[in-house]
Structure 1
Amino acid sequence: MTASTAGARAATGTPLPLRARPLLLAAVAVCAACGLVYELVLLTLSASLVGGGIRQTSLIVAGFVAALGAGALLVKPFLGHAAATFVAVEIVLGVAGGLSAVTLYVTFSFYGTSTAVLLVATGVLGVLVGAEVPLLMTLLQSGRTGIDAEGTGKLLADLNAADYAGALLGGLVWPFVLLPLAGQIRGAALTGVVNLVAAAVVAGFLLRRQLSARSRRAATAALLAAAAVLGVLLVRAQDVEVTARQRLYSDPIVAAVRSDHQEIVVTERAGDLRLFLDGDLQFASTDEHRYTEALVHPALARDPARVLILGGGDGLAAREVLRHPSVRQVVQVELDPAVVELARTRLAGLNDRALDDPRVDVVVDDAFRWLRRPTGRDFDAVVVDMPDPDTPVLGRLYSTEFYGLLSGVLAPGGLVTVQAGSPYSTPTAYWRTVSTLESAGLRATPYHVHVPSFGDWGFALARAGDAAPDLGLSPQAPSLRFLDPAVLRASGVFSADRGPQALPPSTLDQPRIVEDMRHGYAG
């Protein structure tokens, strides 16, 4: 017998006290909670940094599960030193998981993408989490003699129960506690700290007899170093986030909010105020009148009294609607209360305090959910001002089902306008929107204008019935800075290289428009 073999047997052969096993199972639950939080951190970052569609989510989930299996296999040679290996794995996992969010965020801000780092992080964290169960099983059986099949089964049942209970805890803590209260960077770092505390408890109390003095000293030094790294991150997280975020924007950031739904950033330079949602430009104050006038006023051609605005939480569409003399009531449905608050404060000068007008009823709700409620409401005009459908969540707002619900709240002859993206940069997505409106029984008239901040930008004017509506403005329309009857008529003409496409509609079952957006710019 070699010295190393004897040491290994001593490490695994020292019985774990019976009273320590419940505490070790509790540590299992804590570690499992941390492991699931790390996976949710990756999924959250996937959504906020790289779009997080079905494919991206599937890659992370499948990759994480595959890495769990790889970790279980890779740890087999170290089971002879289960106690020391388990403590080492937890320390490395605490540091890697705690730094995952800031690493991905900074990578994205410097290089514009973090997909490769995201996949590497998925593999590393999955391997470390996968190593835990074999190590814990070894520790729980250490020193036990004569264990039979039933005893092994009971032990495995206890281990799985603790593991799954911890996973449930992590799945609840991330979305309801850590993410809203601490954010992604601090939330991941705090989880790493919890992981380190669990490792310290296990090393210092539960496995003290199974660790040599040298191993305990090494574990203590590593834990202190790891805690110091995460402690610095917790203190400086705000500075890191601000610095990294500013690299994403060419102009100085004057307001930044992380809401429950998205990251909201406002920049300003030389009087040009710009709003970004999850990094995507929503408007530039120097030319937003072109976009807003083109979106709103064709829907008001029949002098509506009651107008519904879906989205448009910045208040700019409401501002234009309220300028029309026939309007008596506006219902504004916006998902994110943080955007509404911004519209009433930082953006109030730009939208003329439209959301505080007594004619405007602001409803904070999901537009799809709001339309499903039976209300018997009939609107003379509807303006749909939603972000581009580059995620499945947004894609449902460009579906046949959504437009079908929309037609149900239109008064007879009522008009609808929809922002539909760029017919030049994303022509398939643009014409898919037109086809989807048609599939819901709304006859659509496509049109487009030039908005310098966006380029060639497209819309669709639609109504229920047998014939598509003509592009025109009401004789009562207020004086506009950009749009006039001649410009509007010309906007209905498309060049041959970006002409109409007959496409299947986008539906909830097949959100084709999301893939259209992911394909990006056409040649």
Structure 2
Amino acid sequence: MDKRLPTLLLLSVFVVATCGLIYELIAGTLASYLLGDSVTQFSTIIGVYLFSMGIGSWLSKYFDKNILSWFIQIEILVGLVGGTSSTLLFLLFESIASFRILLYGLVSLTGILVGLEIPLLMRILENRYEFKDLVSRVFTFDYIGALLASLIFPLLLIPYLGIVKTSYLFGILNVLVALIVCANFRKEIRGAKYLQTASIVSIAGLLAGFIYAETITSFSESLSYNDTIIYSKSTPYQRIILTKRGKTLRLFLNGNLQFSSDDEYRYHEALVHPGLSALPEAKQVLVMGGGDGLAVREILKYPQVKSITLVDLDKGMTSLFQNNSMLIKLNQKALLSPKVKVINADAFSWVRSQKDKFDFIVVDFPDPSNYSVGKLYTNSFYKLIKEMLQPDGIIVVQSTSPYVAPNSFWSVNKTLESVGLHTVPYHNYVPSFGEWGYIMAMNKAYYKKPETFVPGLKFISKGSLDQMFYFPKDMSRRETEVNKLNNQVLVKYFEEEWSDVL
């Protein structure tokens, strides 16, 4: 055996491990983007992927001859399947009924091929090292490669390349391993010329996919949205899509509509003014979530407010609404106001470290569709923000639809009450979303409805406010559980109630 082969193949283990975990992370992330519920998607993807790797490892015993040649062929196949899978999933998401079959089929095929690689490499190297040295070296490179993948995927690959480019890049790396091994050890490989040509053609195809990844992504996303996509970006936290039809702008996060410029004022006026209009002396305001600046726009209509602190996890979101001319016009330069301080941080962690007190707190997080967001609706979180509230202050929480998801809505209400806050639930109609709910919470037991409001509002008035506090029978209060960190019952309610609608 050529002395270079062991070293080269051990380096191949490193590349193989890195690529294999990247494909797994891509599948989980893409499933979360397209299907929602990141915990379920990642859990099932990881389970299927690892099970498939086990099948691949078991199948490796049937490869008795020309193992180096088989290894090269499998590397080419892994590169092609793993490199193109994200494109196939994006393109076919809207056009096939059994999307999950395709998703798990591709995950299984990739896992089987990856599961074949390490056993074949170990058999190629078994005559070069003692068994204990072979195992320690192979698995050392394997685990280091996995660590590298887990670090660069969220920090570098998704923010700067996106899912599709990342898939093609690591597909190229897989096939490049095959080409390098084939080129260096032609004499020991049956059909080396054919394999070398196949590797070059595969790399060329994957490179073309990498170069045209933005075009592919834009085309596949255009199949999922009725309006023209004018902005798209993957951040470490979410996929941001902005669409436009005529004068109407719509923002989507991970495929879920966040607002339409046609009627967002109904949502944001209802979120802010019932509470803030009842606090004529309010000076310090905190907004958690709301990285679009639209709630801040409403708050800035109160001249007595001296400072607004906005805490939003995603810098990509707040930067977009600070720099895009159309969005700056929509939020009326709210995030550029000298009164506004933007902090990009995890709200739970940030609240734990704060000693400041606020007169008015707006909690404008996305719906609790997964556990990472659901923690921001728990009694643990509400205890923390209660400590930040001035004695006469008000908290307002967006609380999903009391019509479509009444258990979810009243669970939020009960969770706020469980930490000693007095609540005032209310709702209004937003055409893009239907009937929507909000809950005011305060230390005092009495809420005085404001008689007047700041000028220039399109929706809120004394008459409309009276209607917002009335709940008909189909939205009336019901008994639910308190949402806690250790049960996340709200996420379960939300999934059950919205599953037939989304």
Q: Counterpart of 2:201?
A: 225
Q: In the alignment, does 2:271 pair up with 1:291?
A: no
C-alpha distance in 1, partners of 2:64/2:429? 66
Within the candidate set 302, 306, 310, 2:288 is matched to 310
Structure 2: where are the runs of 5+ without partners? none
Within the candidate set 383, 390, 401, 1:422 is matched to 401
Residues 1:493 and 1:378: Cα distance change in structure 2 (over 3 Å): same
Residues 1:187 and 1:221: Cα distance change in structure 2 (over 3 Å): same
Q: Is the 8 A contact 1:447 1:491 kept in 2?
A: yes
Deviation digits for residues 333-389 of structure 1, max 9, x if unmatched?
1222222222223311112112222222222222222211132x1111111111112
Deviation digits for residues 394-445 of structure 1, max 9, x if unmatched?
1111111111111111000211111111111222222221122122222212
C-alpha distance in 2, partners of 1:363/1:318? 14
Residues 1:278 and 1:356: Cα distance change in structure 2 (over 3 Å): same
C-alpha distance in 1, partners of 2:261/2:344? 24
What secondary structure sits across from 1:417 in the alignment? Answer: strand
Single out whichever of 361-370 and 312-321 deviates more from structure 2.
Answer: 361-370
Q: Counterpart of 1:379?
A: 358
Task: Look up the equivalent residue of 1:417 and give its one-letter code.
Answer: V
C-alpha distance in 1, partners of 2:98/2:460? 38
Q: Counterpart of 1:462?
A: 441
Within the candidate set 133, 137, 143, 2:118 is matched to 133
Q: Counterpart of 1:160?
A: 139
Please list, as runs of the form range in 1=range in 2, the aligned pairs for 1:48-447 lying within 5 A after superposition. Answer: 48-111=33-96, 114-142=99-127, 151-205=130-184, 207-212=185-190, 215-300=191-276, 301-303=278-280, 304-344=282-322, 345=324, 346-375=326-355, 377-447=356-426
Q: Is the 8 A contact 1:471 1:488 kept in 2?
A: no
C-alpha distance in 2, partners of 1:430/1:115? 30
C-alpha distance in 2, partners of 1:311/1:494? 27
Higher alpha-carbon Rg: 1
In the TM superposition, residue 177 of structure 1 has moved relative to its aligned partner by 2.8
Q: In the alignment, does 2:21 pair up with 1:43?
A: no
C-alpha distance in 2, partners of 1:141/1:328? 72
Q: Is the 8 A contact 1:445 1:471 kept in 2?
A: no
Q: Is the 8 A contact 1:473 1:484 kept in 2?
A: no
Residues 1:367 and 1:36: Cα distance change in structure 2 (over 3 Å): same
Q: Is the 8 A contact 2:453 2:461 kept in 1?
A: no
Residues 1:289 and 1:180: Cα distance change in structure 2 (over 3 Å): closer
C-alpha distance in 2, partners of 1:231/1:187? 11
* TM-score normalised to structure 2 length: 0.94
In the TM superposition, residue 471 of structure 1 has moved relative to its aligned partner by 6.5
Residues 1:373 and 1:474: Cα distance change in structure 2 (over 3 Å): farther
Deviation digits for residues 493-520 of structure 1, max 9, x if unmatched?
2222232122112222222222222221
Q: Is the 8 A contact 2:13 2:141 kept in 1?
A: yes
Task: Look up the equivalent residue of 1:372 and give its one-letter code.
Answer: R
Q: Is the 8 A contact 1:49 1:114 kept in 2?
A: no
Please list, as runs of the form range in 1=range in 2, the aligned pairs for 1:480-499 lying within 5 A after superposition. Answer: 480-499=457-476
What secondary structure sits across from 1:421 in the alignment? Answer: coil
Task: Look up the equivalent residue of 2:168 and give its one-letter code.
Answer: A
Give the aligned length: 496
What secondary structure sits across from 1:80 in the alignment? Answer: coil
Q: Counterpart of 2:432?
A: 453
Q: Counterpart of 2:449?
A: 472
Q: Is the 8 A contact 2:154 2:236 kept in 1?
A: no
Task: Look up the equivalent residue of 1:482 and give its one-letter code.
Answer: F
C-alpha distance in 2, partners of 1:200/1:108? 33
Deviation digits for residues 254-288 of structure 1, max 9, x if unmatched?
22232222222222222122222122111111111
Q: Is the 8 A contact 1:298 1:471 kept in 2?
A: no
Single out whichever of 427-436 and 287-296 deviates more from structure 2.
Answer: 427-436
Residues 1:173 and 1:353: Cα distance change in structure 2 (over 3 Å): closer
Please list, as runs of the form range in 1=range in 2, the aligned pairs for 1:13-24 lying within 5 A after superposition. Answer: 16-24=1-9
C-alpha distance in 2, partners of 1:238/1:19? 39
Q: Is the 8 A contact 1:50 1:115 kept in 2?
A: no
Q: Counterpart of 1:504?
A: 481
Q: Is the 8 A contact 2:179 2:200 kept in 1?
A: no
In the TM superposition, residue 113 of structure 1 has moved relative to its aligned partner by 7.8
Q: Is the 8 A contact 1:432 1:503 kept in 2?
A: yes
Task: Look up the equivalent residue of 1:41 and give its one-letter code.
Answer: I
Residues 1:19 and 1:233: Cα distance change in structure 2 (over 3 Å): closer
Deviation digits for residues 306-344 of structure 1, max 9, x if unmatched?
211111111111111111243222112122222222222
Task: Look up the equivalent residue of 1:189 and give its one-letter code.
Answer: Y
Q: Is the 8 A contact 2:314 2:344 kept in 1?
A: yes
What secondary structure sits across from 2:437 in the alignment? Answer: strand
Residues 1:176 and 1:380: Cα distance change in structure 2 (over 3 Å): closer
C-alpha distance in 2, partners of 1:327/1:472? 19
Deviation digits for residues 174-195 of structure 1, max 9, x if unmatched?
2233222211100110001011
C-alpha distance in 1, partners of 2:105/2:485? 32
Single out whichever of 57-66 and 490-499 deviates more from structure 2.
Answer: 490-499
Single out whichever of 192-201 and 47-56 deviates more from structure 2.
Answer: 47-56
What secondary structure sits across from 1:347 in the alignment? Answer: helix
Task: Look up the equivalent residue of 1:118 and give its one-letter code.
Answer: L
Q: What is the alpha-carbon root mean square deviation over aligned residues?
A: 2.0
C-alpha distance in 2, partners of 1:271/1:258? 25
Structure 1: where are the runs of 5+ without partners? 1-15
Task: Look up the equivalent residue of 2:436 and give its one-letter code.
Answer: W
In the TM superposition, residue 170 of structure 1 has moved relative to its aligned partner by 2.3
In the TM superposition, residue 522 of structure 1 has moved relative to its aligned partner by 6.6
Single out whichever of 381-390 and 338-347 deviates more from structure 2.
Answer: 338-347
In the TM superposition, residue 111 of structure 1 has moved relative to its aligned partner by 4.6
In the TM superposition, residue 30 of structure 1 has moved relative to its aligned partner by 1.2
Task: Look up the equivalent residue of 1:470 and give its one-letter code.
Answer: Y
C-alpha distance in 2, partners of 1:113/1:238? 26
In the TM superposition, residue 479 of structure 1 has moved relative to its aligned partner by 4.4
